[in-house]
Amino acid sequence: MAAPWIDEATESNFEARVITASKTQPVLVDFWAPWCGPCRLLGPTLERVVEAYGGKVRLIKINTDENPTLASRYRIQGIPAVKAFLDGQIVDEFVGVLPERQIREFVDNLVPTQADLLGQQARAIEGTPLEALKLYEEGLRGEPQHPPSLLGKLRLLLALDRVEEARDLFNHLPAPLQFHEETRRLQIRLDLALSKQHGPSLEELRARVGQEPENLQAAFDLAHRLAADGNHEEALERYLAILRKDRRFKDDGARKAMLQLFEIVGPRSPLAEKFREKLAEILF
């Protein structure tokens, strides 16, 4: 083998050389056999491409004649067959001989870019939002359409209450990102943040509800403000109180607001599960 990141594997060491190794970097697995002419054509090209990445990706070759159990496990029906592993899972694959250009494109999609690496660092330190924001922005300078960095930056702008910047960024997200699940959650947060910019303060809203306990609009405005400020549990309690008094208020607005908050806190989070049960008690 020409380089330390190109090796062979057998049934006895496949777990270590492929599954475990793929937790830290992409691993290409080339299923081949000595009698296979196309395999002999593809092999050198694969090695040449992998060598060009200088250790950012590994290539593991598996002789299917000598390792039939592995060939069966991964349902190899024709060779050469190349499967890409990342985090212990197959994330891409192809069968047959491809031109070198296409193989490079295949590997490019697996190897993390500078924006990927900076984004990973930023996500890990989002508890210090200003530092994390700098990393996202550095990644975006090199790759302006990088989806995780765009969403990370939007998330932090909202956390820092830089609402106008967040709105501008949201309005210029690339089209594919507009249908992303996290984009939907961030849009809800953005709408909440915008709603509190020109409204009464939290103290004023609390005072109004105290003075007019039967005023459902005041109660709804307070719940909305609490949600915008991140006081999710109290906001959910107040939406529930509105539902107990009038389910039809604001065209079922309290229930709809609760469903939006479930998206923000995580649909399967303990808080969402707790209030989903309470909501069901009222509705059913």
- Catalytic option among 6, 9, 39, 279: 39
What are the residues whose beta carbons fall under 8 Å from the beta carbon of 157, sequence distance 6 or more? 133, 163, 165, 166, 169
Q: Which of 101, 84, 102 is nearest to 93 (CA)?
A: 84
Q: What is the DSSP letter of 58?
A: E
Known active-site residue 36: yes
Both tokens assigned to 136: 């996202």
Active site residue 39: yes
As given in the structure block, the two tokens for residue 104 are 């490079």
Rounded to a whole number, what is the distance in angstroms from the first to the last CA of the chain?
67
Q: Which of 36, 86, 95, 177 is catalytic?
A: 36
Q: How far apart are CA 240 and CA 247, in angstroms?
A: 9
CB crowding 201-229: b at 16 or more within 10 Å, else e? eeeebeebbeeeeeebebbbbbbbbbbbe
Give whole-number Cα distances, 94 to 13, 23, 107, 252, in Å.
Answer: 23, 21, 11, 50
Q: Name the residues annotated as catalytic.
A: 36, 39
